[in-house]
Amino acid sequence: MSVLTLPPAVRRTAPTFGTIGVVLTDVTDAQVAAGFRDGDEQALNEAYRRWSGLVHATALRATGNPEDAADITQTVFVNAWRGRGTYRPEAGSLPGWLMTITRRRIADHWESRSRDARTRAAVEATEPVEEAVPPEVERIAAQMLLADELDRLGEPARRIVRMAFYEDLTHSQIADRLQMPIGTVKSHIRRSLDRLRARMVVEDVAL
């Protein structure tokens, strides 16, 4: 189903006891995106809750500096909220759009670093120092998207995939440790890899 077919997320109703206390786990990403586009502050909160980790972790790995990562995260959400009128849900997911902004802000960050280095070199009349090499931002973004999607896998799939990824256990070792049938472990692995791959495709990560 296309996100375009969703009903409008924002209704201007007077709050009553009956209309508050929304359990946001019931709200889909697409609904958060639609609310965000329409200027619903609650959708901003929810978007921040869901995706600020993704943005921040990407900025942190790309800059290697906690302060820069915090600044970039703040700028990304401020830019996104102010520019929400230009966000088109039909063109991509909200986290995908946030990550596009994140990549740009990271690029700006590196550009201003090398500009500073050139200025310093000019002022000090020295040979330009070797410029800091921008990291592979696309790659980092893809890694973080993957971490995010992995975190969204339900149990026991998440646990199984983590054991396979990070503990380097074979499927039979995992089955052994979790006391699960080998076939169950195998199908969790396959389904999870499919889901992770699907997220990469949705977010336009070249595989």
Partner 1 sequence: MSHSDPTTLALVALGEDIDPADAAHLAQCEQCLTEVAELTEVVTLGREAPIELAPAPEHVWAGIRAELGLLGAPEGSDRGRVLTLPTAAPAPAAEVPPQPDTTVVPMRPRRRPMLGVAAVAAAAGALVGGGLVWAAVDEGGQPIGPQGQLVAQAVLDPLTADVAQPGQAEVLDSPDGQVIRVDATALPARDGFYEVWLIDEGVTKLVALGALPAGSVGTFTVPPGISIEDFPVVDISLEPLDGDPAHSKESLMRGVLEV
- Which residue in 134, 56, 155 sits closest to 102, CA to CA? 56
Q: Between residues 67 and 130, which has the closer beta carbon with respect to partner 1? A: 67
Among the listed residues 62, 77, 94, 175, the single contact to partner 1 using CB under 8 A: 77
85 binds partner 1, rule: CB under 8 A: no
Which residues have a Cβ under 8 Å from the Cβ of 140 and sit 6 or more positions away? 58, 61, 62
Minimum distance of partner 1 from residue 121's CB (angstroms): 33
Among the listed residues 81, 121, 159, 202, the single contact to partner 1 using CB under 8 A: 81
* 158, 150 Cβ separation under 8 angstroms: yes
Q: Between residues 137 and 148, which has the closer beta carbon with respect to partner 1? A: 148
| 9: helix, strand or coil | coil
31 binds partner 1, rule: CB under 8 A: yes
* 144, 186 Cβ separation under 8 angstroms: no
170 binds partner 1, rule: CB under 8 A: yes
DSSP H stretches of helix in 7-40: 29-37
Cβ-based neighbour number of residue 122 at 10 Å: 10
Among the listed residues 29, 40, 94, 203, the single contact to partner 1 using CB under 8 A: 40
Tokens encoding 7:
């009903």
140 to 169, contacts with partner 1 by CB under 8 A?
Answer: 142-144, 146-148, 150-151, 161-162, 164-166
Among the listed residues 64, 78, 129, 176, the single contact to partner 1 using CB under 8 A: 78
Name the helix (H) or strand (E) containing 127. none
203 binds partner 1, rule: CB under 8 A: no
